[in-house]
Amino acid sequence: MKALIRKDLYVLSTQFKLLVLVMVLFSAIPGGLFVPFTFIYATMLPSVSLMSIDEQSKWDSLALMLPYSRRQLVTVKYIMGWLGIAAAMALSVASQALWAAVGVSDLEEGFLAAMCVFAAVALVVQAVIVPVNFRFGFAKGRIVTVAVVAFFGAIVGASIGDGDGFYTILKVTSRIPAPVAPLLAAALCAATIPLSAAGYKKRMEK
């Protein structure tokens, strides 16, 4: 597993610097309006970026002949997704806290709770798109990926667009106990690992 995580981190650092940079920028814009987009990018880490590179380079064919189990090959993409969401959360909280500390912007009430809800939504999105990409491959799976990400992106975009929407989200989500939503979503996401493994087996054994 360590080898697979290392490989994906290398791929991210060499091939997706721009994606990582955009995540950092969105998380750091004062006021936190663009923070949701950081999470949208995080959900795309495992499927849109890493799985597509695996398919393109045919690493997935080679990996099946190396001492990795199918379960490990699947689980590593979930781990990368979770790391991405954790990084999105950490970056957003740290940068917004920094802006608040230096007086550039205020840290809105319920900001942390909203981060937890964004993380939960990102995990649910992953729970949908990762199994689809493992079953059908990136070329077909990206249609679903784009549709799901666009759907959530549109909701976030609309809420930011009407000015008060983002702050309404903060107010509503502040009522949800912080760790509940992401923990439930993480459990749901983890529960789809066997589904992804089965779909992957079916596709690769063709």
Partner 1 sequence: MNAIEVQALGKKYPGFELRDVTFTLPEGCIMGLVGENGAGKSTLIRLIMGAAGASSGQARVLGADVRGPDFTKIKDDIGVVLDEAHFPASLNARQIGRIMEDTYSRWDGGVYKAYLKRLDLPEKKRVQDFSRGMKMKLALACALSHDAKLLILDEPTGGLDPLVRDEILDILEDFTRREDRSVLISSHIVSDLEKLCDYVAFLHRGELLLFEEKDRLLEEYAIVKLPEEVLRDLPEEAVHGVRHGKYCAEALVERDGVREDLPLEKPSLEDVIVFFARGDRE
Q: List interacting residues with partner 1 (CB under 8 A).
A: 2-3, 6-7, 10-11, 14-15, 53-54, 56-59, 61-62, 64-69, 204-206
If the CB atoms of residues 10 and 151 are measured against partner 1, the closer one turns out to be 10
How is residue 67 annotated by DSSP? Answer: T
Residue number, 38 or 133, with CB nearest to partner 1: 133
State which amino acid sits at residue 139: A
Q: Which is nearer to partner 1, 33 or 64 (CB)?
A: 64
CB of 17 to partner 1, least distance (A): 10
Judged by DSSP in three states, 66 sits in: coil
Report the nearest approach of partner 1 to the CB of residue 125 (Å). Answer: 25
Residues in contact with 150: Cβ distance below 8 Å, sequence separation at least 6, in sequence order: none
Closest contact distance (angstroms) between CB of 146 and partner 1 is: 23
Q: How far is the CB of 11 from partner 1 (least distance, A)?
A: 5
Contact between 54 and 60 under an 8 Å Cβ cutoff? The reply is: yes
Q: If we measure between CA atoms, which residue out of 129, 151, 124 comes closest to residue 196?
A: 129
Q: Which is nearer to partner 1, 27 or 75 (CB)?
A: 75
Name which of 117, 62, 111 is nearest 85 in CA terms: 117
* φ and ψ of 94, to 5 deg: -65, -45
